[in-house]
Amino acid sequence: MDAAPRLVVGAAIVRAGRVLAARRTSPSRHAGRWEFPGGKVEPGETPAAALERELAEELGVEAEVTGWLASTATIADDLVLRVATVRLVDGEPVPTEHDAVTWLGGDDLDDVDWIDADRVFLPEIAHLLATLGATLRRAVLFDEDDARAVLARLRNDGYDAVLERERLAGEDDEEDHPWAVITDAPAVAVELLVDAYDGWLDEDSPQTRPPAPAAPLPLPAAPKRIKRPDAGRPPGPVGGAD
Ligand SMILES: Nc1nc2c([nH]c(=O)n2[C@H]2C[C@H](O)[C@@H](COP(=O)(O)OP(=O)(O)OP(=O)(O)O)O2)c(=O)[nH]1
The answer, yes or no, to whether any atom of ligand 1 lies below 6 A from the CB of 36, is: yes
Question: Average pLDDT over the chain, rounded to whole?
Answer: 85
Model confidence at 1, pLDDT cuts 50, 70, 90, reads low
The answer, yes or no, to whether any atom of ligand 1 lies below 6 A from the CB of 119, is: no
Model confidence at 165, pLDDT cuts 50, 70, 90, reads confident
Q: Which atom of ligand 1 is nearest to the CA of 97?
A: 22
Average pLDDT over residues 31-60: 98
The answer, yes or no, to whether any atom of ligand 1 lies below 6 A from the CB of 38, is: yes
What confidence tens digit (pLDDT) does each residue in 21-41 have? 999 999 999 999 999 999 999
Model confidence at 226, pLDDT cuts 50, 70, 90, reads very low
Q: Angle formed by the axes of helices 144-156 and 187-196, to 10°?
A: 140
Model confidence at 202, pLDDT cuts 50, 70, 90, reads confident
Examine the pLDDT at 242 and tell me if it is beyond 90: no
Average pLDDT over residues 101-107: 94
Kindly provide the ipTM of the predicted complex, given to two decimals. Answer: 0.95
- Distance (Å, rounded) from C-alpha 180 to C-alpha 166? 6
Pocket test for ligand 1, best of 24, 25, 34, 35 (most atoms within 8 A of CB): 35
The answer, yes or no, to whether any atom of ligand 1 lies below 6 A from the CB of 21, is: no
The answer, yes or no, to whether any atom of ligand 1 lies below 6 A from the CB of 117, is: yes
CA angle 190, 195, 200 (to 5 degrees): 70
**How many other CB atoms sit within 10 Å of the CB of residue 20?**
23
- Least-confidence region, from 8-12, 38-42, 159-163, 191-195: 159-163
Pocket test for ligand 1, best of 24, 25, 40 (most atoms within 8 A of CB): 40
Residue of 151, 128, 124, 131 whose CA lies nearest to 140: 151
CB-based contacts of 109: which residues, under 8 Å, 6+ apart? 19, 122, 125, 126
pTM exceeds 0.80, yes or no: no
CA atoms within 13 A on the CB side of 229: 0
Model confidence at 106, pLDDT cuts 50, 70, 90, reads very high
Percent of the chain with pLDDT over 90: 67
Per-residue model confidence (pLDDT) at position 4:
84
Per-residue model confidence (pLDDT) at position 221:
56
